[in-house]
């Protein structure tokens, strides 16, 4: 049954929240990210903000802004990015091919998909390693660095020394 329309313009081609909810979400490489479970709308200007993705029973959900959505098709929601959080659990190799451990956490810039650094867990009883974005050569199935383990250890020790040094106090007018 067709509904009455007081929209002021044709709704041909428009999609509804029902067309988004329950759809598979894929990143730019075709990786399955999860299932769209919520649609966010700005309560003031009523514009579409993004979606929430259900990643399964055991994993935390994910919200994705509309700027990262390439298109919404009849079958899925396609993203125009590779989701940085998906790096979690990936194996990290230095430029010699030595395995350094697995990604424990991902540090992003202001809730955007822009990577700052990753924290790698080399296993129990060993200190986690911080790796900056500039030292990463490849992020695909796993992560390959552009530097070796020795250089990385040096950078991490410098970083921990900085943290230990007394912070300078600021004087304000």
Partner 1 sequence: MKIIEAITAKSFSLDKSLSASKIVGLKVLSTSGFRVGYVKEVQLDLNANKEGLSVRRNIWKSSLFIGREYIERISQSGVFLSIFPSILWKGKNILTASGKVIGKVKDVQRKHISNNIESITLNAIFKKDVVIPVSAIKTWGNSVVLKNSYNVKQKYFWQKS
Task: Confirm if 40 and 50 have CB atoms less than 8 A apart.
Answer: yes
Interacting residues with partner 1 between 116 and 145 (CB under 8 A): 138-144
Task: State the binding string over 95-114 for partner 1 (x if CB under 8 A, else -).
Answer: xxxxx---------------
Q: What is the DSSP letter of 158?
A: H
Q: Does residue 91 bind partner 1 (CB under 8 A)?
A: yes
Give the span between the Cα atoms of 59 and 61, in whole angstroms: 6
Report the 10 Å Cβ neighbour count for 111.
Answer: 8
Q: Does residue 76 bind partner 1 (CB under 8 A)?
A: yes
Give the span between the Cα atoms of 131 and 94, in whole angstroms: 11
Q: Please report how close the Cβ of residue 26 comes to partner 1 at its closest, in angstroms.
A: 5
Among 17, 73, 128, 146, binds partner 1 (CB under 8 A): 73
Q: Does residue 31 bind partner 1 (CB under 8 A)?
A: yes
SS (H, E, C) 27-88: CCCCCEEEEEEEEEECCCCCCEEEEEEECCCCCCCEEEEHHHEEEECCCEEEECCCCHHHHC
Task: State the binding string over 33-72 for partner 1 (x if CB under 8 A, else -).
Answer: ----------------------------------------
Using CB under 8 A, list all residues that contact partner 1: 23-24, 26-32, 73-78, 90-91, 93-99, 138-144
């Amino acid at each position: 049954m067709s509904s009455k329309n007081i929209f002021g313009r044709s709704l041909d081609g428009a999609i509804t929240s029902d067309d988004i909810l329950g759809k598979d979400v894929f990143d730019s490489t075709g990786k399955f990210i999860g299932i769209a479970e919520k649609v966010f709308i700005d309560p003031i200007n009523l514009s579409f903000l993004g979606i929430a993705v259900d990643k399964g029973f055991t994993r935390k959900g994910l919200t994705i802004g509309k700027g990262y959505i390439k298109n919404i098709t009849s079958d899925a929601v396609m993203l125009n990015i590779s989701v940085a959080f998906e790096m979690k659990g990936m194996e990290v190799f230095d430029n010699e091919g030595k395995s350094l451990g697995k990604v424990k956490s991902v540090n992003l810039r202001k809730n955007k998909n822009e990577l700052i650094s990753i924290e790698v867990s080399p296993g129990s009883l060993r200190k986690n390693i911080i790796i900056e974005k500039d030292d990463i050569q490849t992020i695909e199935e796993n992560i390959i660095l552009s530097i070796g383990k020795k250089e990385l250890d040096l950078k991490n020790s410098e970083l921990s020394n900085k943290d230990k040094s007394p912070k300078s106090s600021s004087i304000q007018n």
